[in-house]
Amino acid sequence: MRENTSDPQSTPSPLSRETLVVSAGRPAAEHDAPVNTPIHLSSTFHGSGPILASDRAYGRFTNPTWEEFESVIGRLEGTDLPALLYGSGMAAVSAVLEQVPVGSVIVMPEHTYLGTMALARQMQDRGISRLVEVPIEDTDAVIRTLTEQVRTLPQPAGPDVAAPYVLFWAESPTNPMMEVADLPVLLAAARGIGVRTAVDNTFATPMAQRPLEWGADYVVHSATKYLAGHSDVILGAVVTADPELRRQALAKRSLAGGIPGPFEAWLGLRGVRTLALRVRQATANAQVLAERLAAHPAIASVRYPGLPGDAGHERAAAQMDGFGSVLSATLHADAATTEAFVDAVRLWTPATSLGGVESLIERRRRHSTEAKTVSESLVRLAVGIEDVEDLWADLLQALDSVTR
């Protein structure tokens, strides 16, 4: 498969991520060449004779517009191997989960994104793998579980059948409980005992943490969220620094076809140019809102790793560059009053999702599949880049309207 050779900085470089989001993944800097990658609408590519691995060949295998975005995501995550784009975050998640051989075990946080958890449950129901849930904040308990699962793995079903393994799937911070995992310790421990590892880095973004640098085998993104950044496209990505794992994932994507459209990839590439600015502004807003909500009498508790009293604060301060821009707040109220609060906002948008320029708010238990350990009165706030005083004024009037 053709890699992006047109990128002027395709060798390892000390460029900061603030620069990379702008400068990586562009056409060759030649006289009269376009500055931006066009949307390549072509389902096939010229060619004859045997198809080489370096050929584009067909639009299900690669596309020049994807390649530019893939190179940006790979480099943001700290590898010169381009990411692989998918038609959605869930297609990227399933590209990693569905690789596990029969008899494998998938270990996941109790509060894993509900779609990912549902997929792992379906795989269990189909007899492919087992799902084991762990309290991700408890590092010792997670390592004990991983060790035990490795020890009790079944033998392969036959000499030509792939050997089962343990896949440790991590999210940090978790969705929507905002628990922070000790990723450097957990990933090192997992690697040491032969556990394969994947981190969904959607919430944190590569601006805040780069799990490949701690030894993760895969990083997965719902690029729908911060990477694309404008709530106008559904996209996913898988990143790995291991050429063999990338080759396998690319072969599977080419066969299974969970690919994005070139226009969607172009929107993602356009959106990622402002990732650094958006993340910085949204993170600053989230910090202010978390502090003010925590002090408000209508709020029972706030989870945000940027709060000094938060259970994940010290860990996040040590391992993340910034605390992200999602927070959860639990109201002193029942489910109906919490819904009324969500309905009372005027500037915020009541909607699921996160990572766009606009601030979204959602009572998470409106999803019937959300974990029952999530309070009925918990709202997830996905903070955008608006003026923080306007965001706060809107939350205040909505809180006043339901607590009056």
Ligand X SMILES: Cc1ncc(COP(=O)(O)O)c(C=O)c1O
Examine the residue annotation and report whether 372 is marked as an active-site residue of this protein.
Answer: no
Instruction: Select the residue interacting with ligand X from 25, 236, 306, 384 (CB under 6 A).
Output: 236
Beta strand pairing call for 360-363 and 349-350: parallel
Nearer to ligand X, 1 or 93 (CB): 93
Three-class SS state of 210: coil
Structure tokens at 57: 């060949």
Q: Is residue 260 a contact residue for ligand X (CB under 6 A)?
A: no
Q: Which stretch binds ligand X (CB under 6 A): 54-62, 195-203, 208-216, 294-302?
A: 195-203
Q: Which stretch binds ligand X (CB under 6 A): 74-82, 83-91, 122-130, 191-199?
A: 83-91
Q: Is residue 208 a contact residue for ligand X (CB under 6 A)?
A: no
**Among 7, 182, 200, 310, the one annotated catalytic:** 200
Q: Is residue 224 a contact residue for ligand X (CB under 6 A)?
A: yes
The residue behind tokens 């707040």 is 329
Which amino acid is located at 299 in the chain? I
Examine the residue annotation and report whether 225 is marked as an active-site residue of this protein.
Answer: yes
| 321 phi and psi angles, rounded to 5 deg | -100, 85
Q: Which letter, b or e, does each residue of 203-223 get, where b requires 16 or more Cβ atoms within 10 Å of its Cβ?
A: bbbbbbbbbbebbbbbbbbbb
Q: Is residue 175 a contact residue for ligand X (CB under 6 A)?
A: yes
- Do the beta carbons of residue 48 and residue 34 sit within 8 Å? no
**Among 26, 130, 225, 252, the one annotated catalytic:** 225
Examine the residue annotation and report whether 247 is marked as an active-site residue of this protein.
Answer: no
Instruction: Select the residue interacting with ligand X from 105, 234, 276, 293 (CB under 6 A).
Output: 234
Instruction: Select the residue interacting with ligand X from 27, 59, 115, 350 (CB under 6 A).
Output: 115
CA dihedral 333, 339, 340, 341 (to 10 degrees): 70
How long is the chain? Answer: 404
Angle of CA points 132, 135, 136, to nearest 5°: 100
Q: Is residue 156 a contact residue for ligand X (CB under 6 A)?
A: no
Interface with ligand X: number of residues (CB under 6 A): 15
Alpha-carbon gap, residue 259 to 128, rounded angstroms: 24
Examine the residue annotation and report whether 226 is marked as an active-site residue of this protein.
Answer: no
Three-class SS state of 374: coil
- To ligand X, the closest distance from the beta carbon of 95 in angstroms equals 12
- Any idea which residues carry the catalytic annotation? 60, 113, 200, 225
Q: Contact positions toward ligand X, by CB under 6 A?
A: 88-90, 93, 113, 115, 175, 200, 202-203, 222, 224, 234, 236, 353
